[in-house]
Structure 1
């Protein structure tokens, strides 16, 4: 009994907290590296290369261990499109962190369920019954989350927590910070693309049900695409020269801990505890990001980030509660709605199965 309790309760909780700390830590490490001059275009390209090298044995091992369909042109093309979307997400995400902070990125990552819900409606994967409590909760949560995103993007506000002496603070108290707004907009664009990445990934998994092999080819495509973009944007050859310092550490850690270990832990936790349990840990990353940013980057916690993150988190849990209520009702009634039928295509809750985000996208997409 004690072993069962440890395996099903203590270990998943500890693992999820560790994953969120790792994700935010990788973002913080990236921010520290870019402040020393590393280009995020170069970072994305190299992190994909590291992940591809780590996963290089996967296709050979999987072909021996199980019977799989052939990797035809259709599947490889879809994985290539996945790599294109993923590279765009990573570039936008790291650009957003570069312009703002890991704290803002962690707050904005909670927009994924809201944007997934909106895309599901647009592509007619989700039906809306206005008289249904679950639909009302998802609509309200989406509106609240988007409202919170406007707050953190447009209102930076004064710093309320800092480890620097007050005499050293020379920050403009203006609500509208152009750099902060650019960071918020690029992060918003990233989290609009993230649900598309999940939908396409789920479709690929149906056709080729082997995660490690698909992720290997995804990282291979991503490294090529990111390298092409980097060669156009970074014409200075010295930008591609990585020295054994914090830049190299951030690239290696992102490739190994982001693309490989985080995916493994999330997949295991989903199987043991379910998607609702995994998703509940996302807002914790905001507090972790604030603590790490203050300790390692000397960042400020701004009033706008605190207020906006609180609003987004409320919207996040409202959407999640609505979806959980809907699935519970479907199970009790024994009738599968269109939303539950398309869960295998664009799952609102299972959108966290691949999450770095940042962090899934910041870390491994």
Structure 2
């Protein structure tokens, strides 16, 4: 029972990650619609997250005695990780500013396909097309993307309605969340670039965790480098001094939510799940974001639930379980091979270790 509970932790963690990411898109859109500068918001979010993670490499890890040596090679990889992460987050801000959180959530469904391709190219994922596990992962990934696309772009007839909330509790900024703007196509391309960079961010993390398996330390150094990069970008792009002045409004709420919840909590939890399972597994949760978007819109914004959304959600769940079944099947095949090989492989096969855990956590 204890082993099953531990194996379920990455599942629960990734569900939380997707929910936080979807809600953060809404908060960011509301702040930018209220006049918050996206460049300064990026800088302040990274700066606050770095401050929160500051004790990790100096107090927590050294007290526990588990702090690995930080070499120059590892530091270069972390800087590359910070660069990719900063550019991807900036693409997300710009893309959502041009379009909406709904389109942003939809484009996140490209992450499983991008991650699957990059994992095969980098030889992190074995693609034996004759194996039922590989076929299930491929079909499940495609089904998740198709289901999310159907939920986003096909409405169909309405099947359930809720009365809209009273006008007194419906801020005018919420109109921006689902409105199609003239730069919708440009925003879609930028958000697609963000999805690719997030997939690349996963792959780079695997290489870093192989030599430096301290999650919180790696996150601090990455956020520190991102603070410097975003600060340089902000000083070049922002010309108005008043854009740097913080006010007690939705902009400050967005910075606090982005720094504490989306960056510190979500990214750290994502990295921990990545260390336990690998990049392909965590990327398969991204299509669930559109399910959360539809559900939150139906419950809190009084949106109509359409047949296309329901069909898309069902297909997403089927595809998701297809990938999970494929990963479980592949794990069983690895255990059988390990038990037959004998020797040192018996130690690694005595636990339920998901794909890529050995590569990601070995020193």
Number of the residue aligned with 2:95: 96
Count of residues paired in the alignment = 332
- 1:286-329: CA deviation from partner (whole Å, max 9, x where unpaired): 33323444666787878877766665555444334323322222
SS of the equivalent of 2:216 reads helix
Shift of 1:82: 0.6
Unaligned runs of 5+ in 1: 166-170, 348-365
- CA deviation after TM superposition for structure 1 residue 28, in Å: 1.6
1:29 paired to 2:27:
yes
TM-score w.r.t. structure 1 length?
0.72
CA deviation digits over 1:119-154, x for unaligned, max 9? 12223333332322122223333444555676678x
Give how far 1:222 is off. 0.5
Contact 2:288 2:316 in 1 (8 A): no
Partner of 1:262: 266
> Aligned with 1:131: secondary structure?
coil
* Per-residue deviation, residues 36-71 of structure 1 (Å, max 9, x unmatched): 111222222111111001111112112343153432
- Asked if 1 retains the 8 angstrom alpha-carbon contact of 2:275 and 2:360, the reply is no
> TM-score, normalised to structure 2's length?
0.72
Counterpart in 2 of 1:168?
none
SS at 1:129 equivalent: coil
Work out the CA distance in 1 between the residues paired with 2:50 and 2:136. Answer: 41
Residue 111 of structure 1 is matched in structure 2 by: 110
The change in CA–CA distance for 1:312 and 1:39 in structure 2 (over 3 A counts) is farther
In 2, Cα distance between equivalents of 1:150 and 1:10: 28
C-alpha separation between the residues in 2 aligned to 1:297 and 1:227?
A: 35
Q: 1:233 to 1:345 in 2, by over 3 A?
A: farther
1:32–1:297 contact (8 Å) kept in structure 2: no
Separation in structure 2 between the aligned mates of residue 131 and residue 209 of structure 1, nearest angstrom? 34
User: What does 1:236-247 align with in structure 2 at a 5 Å threshold?
Assistant: 236-247=240-251
Kindly report which structure 2 residues correspond to 1:47-62, keeping only aligned pairs within 5 A, or say none: 47-61=45-59, 62=61
* SS of the residue 1:235 aligns to: coil
| Alignment-derived partner of residue 254 in structure 2 | 250
Q: Measure the CA separation in 1 of the matches of 2:243 and 2:300.
A: 24
Contact 1:75 1:204 in 2 (8 A): yes
Q: RMSD over aligned Cα, in angstroms? A: 4.3
1:181 equivalenced with 2:179 (yes/no): no
5+ residue gaps in structure 2?
167-174, 346-353
Q: Paired residue for 1:195, among 191, 196, 199?
A: 199
Q: Write the distance in 2 (CA, Å) between the matches of 1:299 and 1:233.
A: 37
* Contact 2:40–2:244, Cα closer than 8 Å, also in 1: yes
Matched, 1:217 2:217: no
**What does residue 129 of structure 2 align with?**
130
Q: Verify: 1:139 aligned to 2:138, yes or no.
A: yes
Q: Which position in structure 2 is the counterpart of 1:332?
A: 336
Distance change (3 Å), C-alpha of 1:22 and 1:164: same
Per mean C-alpha deviation after superposition, the further-off stretch among 302-311 and 254-263 is 302-311
**C-alpha distance after superposition, 1:254-311 (max 9, x if no partner):** 1112233335656777899999997786554433323444666787878877766665
Matches for 1:263-302 after TM superposition, within 5 Å = 263=267, 283-293=287-297
Aligned to 2:62: 63
Partner Cα separation in structure 1 for residue 70 and residue 8 of structure 2:
39
Q: Give the match's secondary structure for 1:128.
A: coil
| Cα distance, 1:103–1:320 mapped onto 2, change above 3 Å | farther
Shift in Å, 1:248 = 0.5
Contact 1:87 1:226 in 2 (8 A): yes
Displacement after TM superposition at 1:31 (Å): 1.4
